[in-house]
Amino acid sequence: MIYTEKVMEHFQNPRNVGTMKDADGVGQVGNPVCGDMMTFYIKVKDNRIDDVKFQTFGCGAAIAVSSMVSEMAIGKTIEEALKITNRSVAEELGGLPKNKMHCSNLGADALHKAIENYQERQKAKQDPPKKSEDKESCYCPYCDGPIKGIENYCQSCKVEFEDCPECKKPVNKQADKCPHCGATKVRV
């Protein structure tokens, strides 16, 4: 088996699966092109995460990570929940295969995004609504390193990226096709 017992246990019996109609914050990360997609819903009471629901499209690791993150977050204060890191999730699961570490990034990210969304909503209640800037971050699909739009290189696995001429998202320089929009790159 490629996964630890703990991963398989969460994969088979994921906790807190579902959606939430009256969520206080919603966060979505990933897309089917990268392989995984997660949506987290949180309910907050007295600055504490009272309930979490999630939905995940992805592999065994992605499902187990989502389940673990949801379990870790419930009962924590907002500040504590923001401290849940990729590493702590992977550790709680007894480790993940190297090429699946990016799944744990997604799990913590989805939770943090839901919290950010909650905080923005709280702020909007006090201040007049402002258009929030969507922070587009993507993780290198070959390792767990984050790739930001402005950078053209994944420091972690040394893959060079360039912006897709069509959708402007970062693409491996060696790739013939953009994995985000499918545009074929013309080689000279």
Partner 1 sequence: MKRIYLDHIAGTPLHPDVVDAMLPYLKEKFGNPQSLHSIGQEALEAIEESRDKVARLINAESADILFVSSGSEANNFALKGLAFAHQSRGKHIILSSIEHQSILHSAKYLEKFGFRFSHIPVDEFGLVDPEDMRKAITDETILVSILLANGEVGTIEPIGEIANVCRDKDILFHTDAVDAVGNISVDVRALGVDALSLAGNQFYGPKGSAALYVKKGRRILPFIDGGIQESGRRAGTEDVPAIVGLGKAAEIALQEMESRMERMKTLRNKLMKQLPQAVEHVFLTGHPERRLPHHASFCVEYVEGEAMLLNLDLKGISASSGSACTSRALKASHVLLAMGIDHALAQGSLVFGLIDRTNSEDIDYLLEVFPPIIERLRKMSPLYTQYLEEKEK
Q: What CA–CA distance (Å, rounded) separates 102 from 89? A: 11
Site for partner 1 contains 184 (CB under 8 A)? no
Q: Point out which span in 49-57, 80-88, 118-126, 145-153 binds partner 1 (CB under 8 A).
A: 49-57
Of the residues 10, 25, 27, 39, which one makes contact with partner 1 according to CB under 8 A: 39
Q: Angle 106-109-110 (CA atoms, 0-180°, nearest 5)?
A: 85
Least distance to partner 1 from the beta carbon of 125, Å? 27
Of the residues 4, 43, 57, 121, which one makes contact with partner 1 according to CB under 8 A: 57
- List beta partners, residue 77: 48
Least distance to partner 1 from the beta carbon of 1, Å? 9
Residue 134 main-chain phi, psi, to 5 deg = -80, 120
Site for partner 1 contains 33 (CB under 8 A)? yes
Site for partner 1 contains 128 (CB under 8 A)? no
Q: For residues 97 and 129, which CB has a smaller minimum distance to partner 1 in the complex?
A: 97
Q: Give the residue among 29, 11, 34, 15 at the shortest CA–CA distance from 94.
A: 11
Site for partner 1 contains 177 (CB under 8 A)? yes
Q: What CA–CA distance (Å, rounded) separates 16 from 14? A: 7
Least distance to partner 1 from the beta carbon of 149, Å? 20
- State both tokens at 55: 């939905």
Of the residues 4, 55, 88, 156, which one makes contact with partner 1 according to CB under 8 A: 55
**154 catalytic per annotation:** no
CB-neighbour burial class of residue 104 (10 A; exposed 0-12, middle 13-18, buried 19+): buried
Percent helix, strand and coil across the chain, each to the nearest 5: 35, 25, 45
- Report the site for partner 1 in 8-27 (rule: CB under 8 A): 8, 11-12, 14, 17, 19
Query: Cα Rg for the chain, rounded, in angstroms?
Result: 17
Looking at residue 54, its amino acid is: F
**34 catalytic per annotation:** yes
Query: What is the contact surface with partner 1 in residues (CB under 8 A)?
Result: 8, 11-12, 14, 17, 19, 28, 32-39, 55-60, 62-63, 99, 141-142, 177, 179, 182
